[in-house]
Amino acid sequence: MKNTKLITSLLLIALLTGCGKGKEETNIITVDVNASFPKKELILQDFMDVEYIPLETNDEFVTQGAVMAIGEKYIVVKNWTNDGNIFVFDRKTGKGLRKINRKGQGGEEYAFINGIILDEENNEMFVNSTSTKKIYVYDLLGNFKRSFNHTKDTEYLDVFNYDKDNLIRYDMSIYYKAGENRDPNKSYHAIISKQDGTITRNISIPFDIIKVPFVQKGDGIAVASVHPIIPYHADWLLVETSSDTVYNYTPKENKLSPFLVKTPSNDPEILLTMGTVTDRYYFMQTIEKVFDFTTMKGFPITNLMYDKLENAIFNATVLNDDCLKKQQVDMTSNPVNGEIATFQALTAYQLVELYKNNELKGNLKEIAAELNEESNPVIMLVKSKK
């Protein structure tokens, strides 16, 4: 039987700070990714607040519900198909406010939407398009304001709103350099200007050999989803698959410090990515670098959770108490910001079926009663308890 013990190491580490000074004694959680952990079920409402927002449906506002950004005032949604449509909904009511489409080949137009970053403070949204390696900036009415290129020899994967003047991004060009030695002058996490995309500050995570989350066989390439940037209250958790350490970045102090360490793994290599982090629970996911190109299936995952109170790791399942059959909640796939830990888009046809079978309760039941199978999704926001 594999060892199931959680190792909590007391390490003496040199903190990587902007000043580069000092040493600090820190408790580092070490996750044995090769181990088997006991199973544990949690009820979402026991430790998080839940809010449901039904997106208005009418002839103009029909969307597949790929949520791109959530702010205090707005929810920004696109379709899974590359039709260029961007839908802006009211955050509180779900009412459709406007539909924007700037898809095209012109200098003020995007070819593809890989991500949208919402900046309500400046009344702007940033459309990241990796096919042209550019970010296009529009106001929230859809008027073009400016654009800027990804910095030279980079390709942005995740991009988040950082502060009034900057974004924080991850450069996925590292994916094309698997097995190479790290360029000591290259940083893949960086803070960039909202005005022109220039680098405001590099955040350098230490590692030696580049390890990336994809499997290749001949011309076939399969890529696993690993979030390199996770909002963590006022800080950021930074994941680099080439490193066995997840780092916490504190902007005010420009300080990078180890948050969690995973044990090495071989044959297959096992990656670790982070999800929602609460005062008590750290949700994470292991991903095995295995993919079968015959069946087109692979990258088996295990949902893990570290419980600070019990000082233990579990194979965790989180269940939504508003569904009588306790639907599972994804705690890792959709990081948002310091207020909203994660979200899920609940499809109307599933909610209608659950309602007909009397399997819903509370506010979700009331919302489902007003839906039909062609309605827009209901967005479930998962927030830290007040």
Q: What is the 3-state secondary structure (H, E, C) of the chain?
A: CCCCCCEEEEEEEECEECCCCCEEEEEEEEECCCCCCCEEEEEHHHCEEEEEEECCCCCCCCCCCEEEEECCCEEEEECCCCCCEEEEEECCCCCEEEEEECECCCCCCECCCCEEEEECCCCEEEEEECCCCEEEEEECCCCEEEEEECCCCCCEEEEEECCCCEEEEEEHHHHHHCCCECCCCCCCEEEEECCCCCEEEEECCCCCECCCCEEEECCEEEECCCCCEEEECCEEEECCCCCCEEEEEECCCCEEEEEEEECCCCCCCEEEEEEEECCCEEEEEEEECCEECCCCEECCEEEEEEECCCCEEEEEEEEECCECCCEECCCCCCCCCCCEEEEEEECHHHHHHHHHCCCECHHHHHHHCCCCCCCCCEEEEEEECC
Q: Are residues 9 and 97 in the same domain?
A: no
Q: 155 pLDDT band (50/70/90 cuts)?
A: very high
Task: For residues 46 and 179, state if they share a domain.
Answer: no
Q: What is the pLDDT of residues 42-87, one digit of tens each?
A: 999 999 999 999 999 998 999 988 999 999 999 999 999 999 999 9
Residue 185 has pLDDT above 80, yes or no: yes
Number of separate domains in the chain: 2
Question: Does residue 289 sit in the same domain as residue 351?
Answer: yes
Mean pLDDT (whole number) for 156-183? 94
Q: Is residue 215 part of a domain?
A: no
Expressed as residue numbers, the domain containing 87 is 64-210
| pLDDT exceeds 60 at position 333 | yes
Residue 205 has pLDDT above 90, yes or no: yes
In a domain? residue 219: no
Same structural domain, 205 and 155: yes
**Boundary residue ending a domain (162, 182, 210):** 210
Please tell me the distance from the alpha carbon of residue 4 to that of residue 32, in angstroms, as a whole number. Answer: 8
Residue 330 sits in the same domain as residue 360: yes
**Is 241 part of a structural domain of the chain?**
no
Binned at pLDDT 50, 70 and 90, residue 352 comes out as very high
Q: For residues 97-102, give the mean pLDDT.
A: 97
- For the domain that residue 93 is a member of, what is the CATH number? 2.130.10.10
* pLDDT interval class at 26 (50, 70, 90): low
Domain boundary among 210, 225, 257: 210
| Co-location of 371 and 272 in the same domain | yes
Work out the average pLDDT over 221-244: 93
Confidence of residue 200 (pLDDT cuts 50, 70, 90): very high
Of the pLDDT bands very low, low, confident and very high (cuts 50, 70, 90), residue 20 is very low
User: What is the pLDDT of the chain when averaged over all its residues?
Assistant: 91
Q: What is the pLDDT of residue 4?
A: 40
